[in-house]
Amino acid sequence: MSTIEQFRHDTRAWLEANCPPSMRTAMGEGDVVWGAQQPQFPSSDAQLWFERMRDKRWFCPEWPQEYGGAGLSAEQLAVLEGEMRRLKCRPPQINLGVWMLGPLLLEFGSEEQKRSLLPPMARGEVRWCQGFSEPNAGSDLASLKMSARDGGDHFIVDGSKIWTSYGDKSDWMYALVRTDPAAPKHEGISLIVLDMRSPGVNPVPIDLISGKSAFCQVFFDAVKVPKTQLVGPLHGGWNLAKRLLQHERKAMSKFGEISLPSHVDLLGLLQQYLPQPHGQCEQVLHGRAVACAMNERAYDLTVQRMGQAAQVGDDISGLMAIMKLVHTEQERDKFEVLLDLMGGHAMGWHNEAGNDPQLAITRGWLNSYALTISGGASEVQLNVIAKRVLGLPDAKKGVTP
């Protein structure tokens, strides 16, 4: 047996022996385990699975051993991921640090930062959040204003971050800050990491039109951050941010693979709420719903095609650029149709007005608005496709047709 086949054999045997059967079923929203200083486990199996994978160093299997990883090669990593998919193993923990900041620290962090920050991350002991967007820096992220002024051996941070997921539950944050307000906007930005329990940090949850949310606005009032917590070069944060966003795309595609977003079965609901369309209006509505379901099918096939194209070595950058746009716009369209199809049943707010699946449609519809805005609004996605994929030219300043 070749070394890699031996590894596959051992990995399969270990997973079969150590992944509890209840951890091989589809995950609901409440089943996610977040690595944190005080992790919460929905079940004892979830805790067992977390601890076993942690001790195996398989939270970040490809990281070097000295930083808490298992030092797996790319080939071994692919085998491990394949075997976990095959057994339908749940991810033992979800951790923004492992996916986003970790790879960046490995590439750009100082030796001291790697030794102090990576091993706890790799043991799932720190919950990380991301501080990028600000109230006046959304789609135009580089216009961010939160300042980090020179305070000798530390920075003094003032301002606020918004749309920080789980800002109130996180232990640490990595954040983009302005360290040189005089420089052109892309050149005065730095990346820092900070303890969310530092004096002057105040996370406030944000209620959305869909109700309670994971999002927070985080306020910073003269927060002291040691200069050793600057990642990469001073004023050189923009390049790191772009790199982080690449990791984000990779992470999101991986995450999507493990737990597909809760699928609302449009054709099933159509059959339930409009089994026999009568009259012209119902016929038209029926047609709209079917068209939506067909577009969704075409998207699913495109996800599959992208995977196969990548495997045979085709350029998939064009397909990657459309995925977020297509998926989120289709979700918006789908909920619009569902609201028309289900009428009052999809507008209930409390249990008296509808059962759980119906109320979930209401919330899903309201939540779908956030999808086409967060993580690069649809208009930004269209700009990216037009410029980077289609090669259309930039507009001249001051041209008014």
Residues forming the site for another protein (CB under 8 A): 267-268, 270-271, 286-287, 290-291, 293-295, 297-299, 301-302, 304-305, 308-309, 312, 314, 318-319, 322, 325-326, 379, 382-383, 385-387, 389-396, 399-401
Nearer to another protein, 2 or 280 (CB): 280
**Identity of the residue, 88 or 297, whose beta carbon is nearer to another protein in the bound complex:** 297
CA angle (277 as vertex; 276, 282 as ends), nearest 5: 160
User: H helices then E strands: how many in the chain?
Assistant: 12, 8
In terms of CB distance, is 195 or 329 closer to another protein?
329
* Dist CA 50 CA 252 (whole Å): 21
Q: Which is nearer to another protein, 260 or 386 (CB)?
A: 386
* Sign of the Cα pseudo-torsion (172, 114, 236, 376, in order): negative
Residue closer to another protein by CB (options 142, 290) is 290
Q: In this structure, what DSSP letter does residue 123 have?
A: T
Q: For residue 97, with 0-12 CB atoms within 10 Å meaning exposed, 13-18 middle and 19 or more buried, which class applies?
A: buried
Q: How far is the CB of 303 from another protein (least distance, A)?
A: 8
Q: Are 161 and 218 in contact (CB under 8 A)?
A: yes
Query: How far apart are the C-alpha atoms of 159 and 172, rounded to whole Å?
Result: 17
Distance CA 171, CA 195 (A): 6
Q: How far is the CB of 368 from another protein (least distance, A)?
A: 18
Q: Each residue of 341-362: b (16+ CB within 10 Å) or e?
A: bbeebbebeeeeebeeebbebb
88 Cβ contact partners less than 8 Å away, ≥ 6 residues apart? 24, 25, 26
| DSSP character string of 241-287 | HHHHHHHHHHHHHHHHHHSPPPPP-HHHHHHHH-SS--HHHHHHHHH
Nearer to another protein, 4 or 301 (CB): 301
Minimum CB distance to another protein, residue 243 (Å): 25
Give 115 or 305: the residue with its C-beta nearer to another protein: 305
